[in-house]
Amino acid sequence: MSVAIHMPAVRSPADAVLITGVGVVSPLGNSFNDVADALLAGRSGVCSVPAADFAREQTQFAAPVDLIPQPPAGICPDAAEIARLGRLERLCLAPIAAALADAGLRPGQGGRRIGLVLGLGAEQLKSWELDFLAGGSDVFEPRRDPTIVHRLARLVGIGGPAVTVAAACASSGYAMALGRNWIDAGWVDACVVGGCDILSPTAIAAFYNLRALSRRSDDPTRASRPFDRDRDGFVMGEGGGFFVLERRQPAADRGARIYGELAGVGMSSDAFHMVSPCSDPTQAARAISEALADAGIAADEVDYVNAHAAGTPVGDAAEAGAIRLALGAAADRVPVSSTKSMTGHLISGAAAFEAVACLAAIHRNAVPPTLNLDTVDDACRLDHVPHMAREHRVDVAASNSFGFGGANLCLVLRRAA
């Protein structure tokens, strides 16, 4: 079985869209280096958390963010307004500001047109829930900004286009793809892209009722078990990441650090079911193959695949089939791991955080492990990296994100030449 793939024109080095700033807030740390250290050490951020208002179990596991950092000095001057923000807004604001500072960009200076694309799968749910739990009823109060993204853009001074994209668990990856397209179209000179999510009592209850969450109650660090024979669902986490995307020349003129290239994007839809994963790997494989074609990469040139694999029985097996279908014989030797075994599932922020994991693999020449992979499911046979990181040169990494409703996405990140 094969899928027809559109072959785009090959990009010149000058047209490459590069990552020049990274901001991250996660259960494993709040900087690129801290996250890379934790991932390669195989450290779990999953712990026991207090049962939420809507919890069905007395014991609940999740991967929370312990401390949301303050934005870097000079990016967000209004400390009083920042203090009034909700948790989701602060969780997004910190990495947006950090990514801008890391790239050496100050919005409003130098005449640069900077855009913002926020990946967020359920903004109105978060607003309703927070208001309900606070005992209020003014979710649609006119004094509030119309969307989170415009409030964030105002706080950091971004005057270019600012939008939110929703594609369930692939939302922040779709944000990265859209920002890349804006740069290609010449609408912006640089774009801040990514997404974050928070632990939400409503979402936890909903995923629990869908039987998507793990029912384990013994050891939190062993609950998330992607690709394992005994997996029984995912663990929810919070956090995510943002990136500054731009062309090579302005980055070089500014002396910016180049983390890597966003070299390829592939998307597809399963058109199958709103909440059930599709067991047919054809469309997910199409997204992977489209991303490789977009990057001008052959399957045997991929050095690492960061799998979406959240630990659900159907989803992990379907993804393993998609990787095999897209990579062919190369699937027997390309290392594959799921960092959700350490962070839980960051939902809207998952794709962006896992792009950070791919950049860590590129910079550290090592593949992060899949924790708790004691016995590989026969339906998930790949070149897994269980328990411990593997030293391995990574020039090209592919990152999969598959969201509810069948939103399939693959990003290809490449070592910058």
Residues with a known catalytic role: 169, 308, 345
For residue 319, give the nearest of 344, 297, 340 by alpha carbon. Answer: 340
In angstroms, the CA 117 to CA 112 distance is 16
Q: Which two tokens stand for residue 209?
A: 């009722």
96 in the Ramachandran plot: left (φ > 0), alpha (ψ -120 to 50) or beta?
Answer: alpha
Q: Which two tokens stand for residue 145?
A: 């900004």
In angstroms, the CA 122 to CA 128 distance is 10
In angstroms, the CA 376 to CA 367 distance is 18
SS3 sequence, the chain?
Answer: CCCCCCCCCCCCHHHCEEEEEEEEEECCECCHHHHHHHHHHCCCCCEEECCCCCCCCCCEEEECCCCCCCCCCCCCCCHHHHHHCCHHHHHHHHHHHHHHHHHCCCCCCCCCCEEEEEECCCHHHHHHHHHHHCCCCCCCCCCCCCCHHHHHHHHHCCCCCEEEECECECHHHHHHHHHHHHHHHCCCCEEEEEEEECCCHHHHHHHHHCCCECCCCCCHHHCCCCCECCCCCECEECEEEEEEEEEHHHHHHHCCCCCEEEEEEEEEECCCCCCCCCCCCHHHHHHHHHHHHHHCCCHHHCCEEECCCCCCHHHHHHHHHHHHHHHHHHHHCCEEECCHHHHCECHHHHHHHHHHHHHHHHHHCEECCECCCCCECHHHCCEECECCCEECCCCEEEEEEEECCCEEEEEEEECCC
How many other β-carbons are positioned within 10 Å of the β-carbon of residue 217?
Answer: 13
In angstroms, the CA 341 to CA 99 distance is 25
Amino acid residing at 152: L
